[in-house]
Chain A
Amino acid sequence: MRHNLHYQLNYFRVTTPKSSLKVRLRVNWVSSLIYPTISVIIFLSIWELLVWFFEVPLWLVPKPSDFLNRFFSDFSIIANHGAATSITIISGFLLGIFVAVPLALLIVSSDFLQRGLYPVIVFLNIMPKTVIGPILIVWFGIGPLASVIIVFLMCFFPILVDSMSGFRAVDSKLFYITKSMGATSWQNFYYIRLPASLQHIFGGMRIGIVKAVEGVMIAEFISSNEGLGFMIMRASSFMDMTLLFSGLIAAAIVALLFNSLLLTIEWLMIPWKHQ
């Protein structure tokens, strides 16, 4: 039986298609955490061993035991900054979605916007966001608002582009059929375009969230007074290596959480992808 390919491929399968939705949801969520956790533990153990073995000084490379210690002892401070960063990410990301998706629909529906507005957006997107940072500080002052805007600018473009291709993905012949049904523009959008484009929009969102996390860190380095990026920057200027590394760990956790959250939402909203 072990030689049977089907058996081997399904060896690690914890759920079957017949498992109830609740079971599959919980197991899916849990298993997407377990595997990365195991590999991280292995990675940290090797790190600890190497630093200890080569007697690397603390101010150069701290051991995982050092900064993990710091992580838990200063947990409330780190968690507060983490919360601030998370709020910034969520705000910028939601803003990105609510601007990019409708705009994508507009551009796709209008030849004029396609030729006039889209190239402008592409051009603006080429500008490095770190350059925009100081300008935003002048306009909005130091604080999370500038960070939110940078997050927005970073995740806006991938969501826009993928939403556009999502809205175009429907065969135009289908609209002949809906026209014969007497469908209004709204019905065409709600019943046909929107569900068809969801897969693409989520693809854009997955790229967008990565860029958003990247953006928030950079933004908080230069233009904020709270958040993980700010905390890391300040730790760096004080050569506080353990706090710095704790900050990096926290940032990685935040990124992982948002990614998992997005994957779960996608899994819930697009059941047909997984049938």
Chain B
Amino acid sequence: MIEPANTSYNSASDASSKAIELGASIRASGVTKIYGNHQDAFHALGPIDLEIKSGEFVSLIGPSGCGKSTTLLIVSGLEKVSQGYVEINSEPLSRPISEVGIVFQDHLLLEFRTAIRNVMLQQEIRGLNRKEYQEKANKLFEKLGLKGFENKYPKQLSGGMRQRVSIARALIHNPSMLLMDEPFGALDAITRTQIRHDLEILWLETKKTVLFITHSIEEAVGLSDRVLVMSTSPGKIIDEIKIDLPRPRPAHLGDYPEFSSYSKRIYNIFERLGIYRFK
């Protein structure tokens, strides 16, 4: 059982508290992660260099086990780097930061709490104003299409709704950074397309910095400003594609010829790396 050791979180200093409103900027340099030591050492990631501007939506795409999730954990301070350093808003990262919202592939909702109480967990643990956050939670539920489901337990909700609640939990405290690790991976294709759009609309309102990990090229191109392509383990960033499509992106991306060229570029890389082996 892995339990991250308890470390106090690095709350934003005055200088960067303003930056919270805009979205954090992330800079990683020479970051490497090695789990274990000596004989058992597992070189999970790196070295990688990463730069995400404030308010940018960046996707990270790559084969399974290449270190994408590790990147996300390192950038949020939840895992320490083995080499290199990370800067958030030009300040070195030393402890887990609290101005993040995290969404995993599993919704990880507490089954013993209703949907809204799951989201209010942020308020309870952080010790924030209850009434204020109750208001925010209700508004967020409306925006995410969850109105009327506040008092349902997770097991009474569909997969898509559970993920929406999970997203609400990640957004209620207005973080400057949203980190998503294959959040729609467990959803069916139709729900996936819809929720992708809903996320984009929500993001356009507040323009937080987003690091989005996915396997799906369509998702990556459909949501991001930039797509970073990662190699097989130990993952390194081997390509960067700037996505030049208007927002909000449509459901059917095939309308744009650029989508085809972006997809092809990523497919070619995967083929070159041996991830795809079509005869």
Contact = CB atoms under 8 A, between A and B. Distances in A.
B149 interface: no
Contacts of A192: 110
Contacts of B108: 171, 173-174, 177
Nearest to B3: A175
Contact of A168 (B1, B111, B169): B1
A14 to B, nearest CB: 24
A108 B1 CA distance: 8
B124 A184 contact: no
A181 B101 CA distance: 9
Given A172-B2, A180-B96, A195 B110 contact: yes
Nearest to A271: B112
B102 A177 contact: yes
Nearest to B78: A176
The secondary structure that dominates the A interface is helix
Interface magnitude class on chain A? 20 to 34
Nearest to A192: B110
Nearest to B69: A173
Interface string B174-205: 00000000000000000000000000000000
A32 B169 CA distance: 40
Given A181-B125, A185-B6, A191-B124, A172 B1 contact: yes
Interface in A136-170: 168
Nearest to B4: A179
B172 to A, nearest CB: 11
B112 A196 contact: yes
Given A109-B3, A183-B125, A173 B104 contact: yes
Given A181-B125, A182-B9, A191-B124, A275 B156 contact: yes
Interface string B52-78: 000000000000000000000100101
Q: Most A CB atoms within 10 A — which of B8, B101, B102, B112?
A: B112
Nearest to B97: A180
Given A108-B1, A172-B1, A180-B102, A272 B111 contact: yes
A196 B110 contact: yes
Given A168-B1, A173-B104, A185-B6, A179 B110 contact: no
Interface string B80-124: 000000000000000011101110101010111100000001101
A225 interface: no
Contact of A181 (B4, B6, B121): B121
A185 B106 CA distance: 23
The secondary structure that dominates the B interface is loop
Interface residues of B, number: 34
B179 to A, nearest CB: 9
Contacts of A91: none
B262 interface: no
B76 A181 contact: no
A272 B153 contact: yes
A182 B125 contact: yes
A173 B4 CA distance: 9
A178 interface: yes
A187 interface: yes
Contacts of A181: 98, 121-122, 125-126
B153 A179 contact: no
Contacts of B78: 176, 179-180
Interface string B5-21: 01111010000000000
A181 to B, nearest CB: 4
A266 to B, nearest CB: 13
Nearest to A273: B112
A179 B125 contact: no
Given A182-B9, A275-B156, 13 more contacts: A108-B1, A168-B1, A173-B104, A175-B3, A177-B104, A177-B108, A177-B169, A180-B100, A182-B98, A195-B112, A195-B113, A196-B111, A196-B112
Q: Most B CB atoms within 10 A — which of A109, A187, A196?
A: A187
A176 B125 contact: no
Contacts of A272: 111-113, 153
Minimum-distance CB pairs A-B, first 9: A182-B9, A181-B125, A174-B108, A272-B112, A172-B2, A195-B112, A183-B125, A185-B6, A182-B98
Nearest to A171: B108
Contacts of A171: 106, 108
Q: Most B CB atoms within 10 A — which of A178, A181, A198?
A: A181
A183 B151 CA distance: 24
Nearest to A270: B112
A176 B6 contact: no
A272 B6 CA distance: 29
Contacts of B73: 176
